[in-house]
Amino acid sequence: MLDVQFYGVLQQVAGTRSLQVDLKDDDITVDQVLTQLRQDVPALSAHLPRVACAQGESLVRRSDAVDPRQPLVLLPPVSGGRGPGQWRNT
């Protein structure tokens, strides 16, 4: 079982701060967990493309393996207020 935690608007959408996802095996990617989540909580589907995932202090990519010993944390778009753009890609 993997602990999945929700932040921001995702807590409203999921109706909870965390839930357990059943891992088929130990060698599973972030993407596979999200696929399982879409089935368990369909309301999350529309949000997932703009959600980033983290474990511990760090972001993890969709293709990364999940460490089953720590929660997978789902982070929706952050509070924003757009920068002026001048700093991008520089």
Partner 1 sequence: MQRITEAPLDVNTLLAETENDTCGAFVVFGGVVRNHHQGRGVAGMSYTAYGPMAEKVLEELEQETIQRFGVAECRIMHRIGKLEIGEASVLVAVRSAHRADSFEAGQYAIDTLKERLPVWKEDFYTDGSSGYQDGVPLETSEATETERGGRGHE
Residues that bind partner 1 (CB under 8 A): 7-9, 12, 48-54, 56-62, 73, 75-84, 87, 89
DSSP labels, 23-72: -SSSS-BHHHHHHHHHHH-GGGTTTGGG-EEEETTEEE-TTSBP-TTS-E
Task: Specify the residue, 42 or 85, whose C-beta has the smaller distance to partner 1.
Answer: 85
- Minimal distance, residue 59 CB to partner 1, in Å: 5
Looking at the Cβ atoms of 5 and 23, the one nearer to partner 1 is 5
Name the minimum Å distance from CB 21 to partner 1. 18
User: Other CB atoms closer than 10 Å to residue 56's CB: what's the count?
Assistant: 9
7/28 with CB nearer partner 1: 7
Within 10 angstroms of residue 87's Cβ, the number of other Cβ atoms is 7
